[in-house]
Amino acid sequence: MATPKLTGFLIALILIGLFAGVITYVLGSVNTTYDVEYSNTSLAAFEKLDNMSADIKQIKEDSINMEQANPLDIIGAYFTAGYKTLRTSAESFAVFEIMVGSTFDKFGLDSKMG
């Protein structure tokens, strides 16, 4: 009867599991030592950034697909893409506001300016 051999794949799985366990332990100890909490407000900025990224990808796809249209459609599509781009730029201010508010809340400061 042949002795079983550890393949490189199994060794890699064991090492990855060990590495993930060590990282989880370290992050858990940092969270308990420094009393770090992650709230939904800190994730709201990332959700807005994700939505903005999806909007930008859609604008890019629409601009690529407008090459086969007639000239009036192309002009209208450029105005539409410009409007969507301005709207996405305005949403970036909301992301900034969420990030600033989250920072103020984290340090216990008043988020009202003025």
Q: What is the pTM of this model?
A: 0.48
Per-residue pLDDT at 95:
81
Per-residue pLDDT at 55:
84
Per-residue pLDDT at 9:
78
Per-residue pLDDT at 40:
52
Per-residue pLDDT at 114:
43
| Ranges of residues in the chain whose predicted pLDDT is under 50 | 114
Per-residue pLDDT at 47:
82
Per-residue pLDDT at 27:
74
Per-residue pLDDT at 92:
81
Per-residue pLDDT at 38:
56
Residues 17-53 as b or e (16 or more Cβ within 10 Å = b):
eeeeeeeeeeeeeeeeeeeeeeeeebebbeebeeebe
Per-residue pLDDT at 39:
55
